[in-house]
Each structure stands twice: as C-alpha cells, then as structure tokens.
Amino acid sequence: MALELKNPHSVLAALQSRPIDVTEIRLSAGSAQGNWGEVADEARKHRIPVIIKKSAPQKMKRKQSEEQGRRTAGSVGMVKPRTPSSLGELFANAEGETELNGLWLAMDCIQDPHNIGAIFRTAAFFGVRGIVLTKDRSAPLNATVYDVASGGMEAIPFAVETNLSRAMTDAKKLGVWIMGTSEHAEDDVSAFHQDRPWMVVIGNEEKGLRRLTLEQCDVVCRLTPTGIVDSLNASVAAGIMIARFSPFGPGVK
C-alpha cells in the first residue's frame, strides 16, 4: 500500500532511486513549480501520472493562502514503502574488507516516527552504512518517517530485526564494535574515538537500552551535560553520535 508523502524532497528521492514504486503525483493548484515542479518533471520522465487538482472557487482566507504558498498544501506523492534489507545484505559490503571502515546504527525500540525520520536524515547526510531497527515496540516506518527523513529513507540500507541482540552479534563477527549509549554510563563519549568501525545503538526515548542490548555492547558511553538541561531528544543525541563517529564527520582527517 502506497504512502502519501507530503515532502517533495522525499518524493523526488524516491523517484530518482526507485521510480517503479511511485504510483502517482497529486498536485494542488498552483504548486506545479519549485520543488513540486521538479517532482512533476521527474515523474513525467518515468511516465508516472501527474494529476493537478483544480482550485476551489470559494475565496481563501489570507492565513490559509499564505500557508498554501509556503507548503503547497494538498500536494502529495503516492510512494510504496521500501522493502527492508536482510541483515546479511546490510553487512554484505563489509564482509571481506581488509580494513573495515564506516559507521552503522541500531535503534532499540524507538517509538516516535519523528525521531526515526530525523535519524535517517542525519545518517544519510554523514554517509552511515546501514541501520538496524527492532520489529517490536518500535514506530512503524510510515509517511511521517519518510517525510521527516527528507530523502534519507532512500539513501540508507536498513534491516528490521526481531532479535537485535543477534544482529549485534553478527556485526561483531565481521569486526564491527558495538557502542551503547546511556545516561547512566560511567564513561563519557570523549573517551572513545573514530579509530575503528562502530555500530552506535540508540535506546528507547523513555527506557533507554534494554538489558540484553546492553549486555551485547563492547562499550557504553554517555553524553555528559554541561548546562542546566540534563537530557537530549533521542534523534538529537543520535545526531551528535553520528557526527562524532562517522568517518566523514567534523574533525576527521
């Protein structure tokens, strides 16, 4: 079943990477320009239907008109969700590397789709090699996730696993080191460096990492607060970890 995506960047990314999964573009009157115009042009190249809805005859309130001008309200792309990769496919390119390099992520029961989407967007920006999500007690990969990711869902291979602990074990067999994150950890993140391939594990927004997940981690670290706020949103914390441990992050030579 297709998702209704409202972010033109998400729709365009899908058109460029897997046009066969884009079934239709529906544009509101006056939106066939700018970002949505680019979407429409790309869709027509692949002979995907582009439907432009006629404007309603009634007058529009000023606030509504301004909002439509900013977001082209009503324009959507009908896009089928991506099929997750198998765990083997996620690490297929890593197996056999003489010098394993890169960063992977795992999300342990992240339940807010906005957080998942934001993490995918940051991961795509920094070239994360793959993401493992948990099948149970996690937010579905719905239209909100795709829209917030702004194209990131198309760029990063991901696997959805019933057993995260087993996935972490498989990653370690390939030479990937597992770094858990917890506000209760003894070691600050500054104790570790981008000197090996890491898989950073981000925990649930309320409960953090589960016990079995923690037991599989090679190291566990915290982001130590230096101000009056003592916690971070899951996607913000993930963004900091991605930027710090990606081989393409700030300060990496």
pLDDT digits (tens, 9 = 90+) for 30-46: 776 789 999 999 999 99
pLDDT of 252 strictly over 70? no
End-to-end CA distance of the chain: give it in Å, rounded. 44
Determine contact, residues 100/176, Cβ cutoff 8 Å.
yes
Confidence band, pLDDT 50/70/90 cuts, at residue 54:
confident
Nearest Cα residue to 194 out of 132, 129, 251: 251
Least confident of 46-55, 69-78, 120-129, 153-162: 69-78
Confidence band, pLDDT 50/70/90 cuts, at residue 66:
very low
d(C-alpha 73, C-alpha 38), whole Å: 16
**Mean of pLDDT over the chain:** 88
CB atoms within 10 A of CB 18: 14
For the entire predicted model, the pTM comes to 0.89
DSSP 128-193: --EEEEESSSS----HHHHHHHTTHHHHS-EEEES-HHHHHHHHHHTTPEEEEE-TT-SEEGGG--
H/E stretch holding 50 reads strand 50-52
Nearest Cα residue to 123 out of 133, 138, 136: 133
Read off the pLDDT of residues 152-198 as tens digits, 9 standing for 90 and up. Answer: 999 999 999 999 999 999 999 988 999 999 988 999 999 999 888 99
pLDDT > 70 in the chain, percent: 87
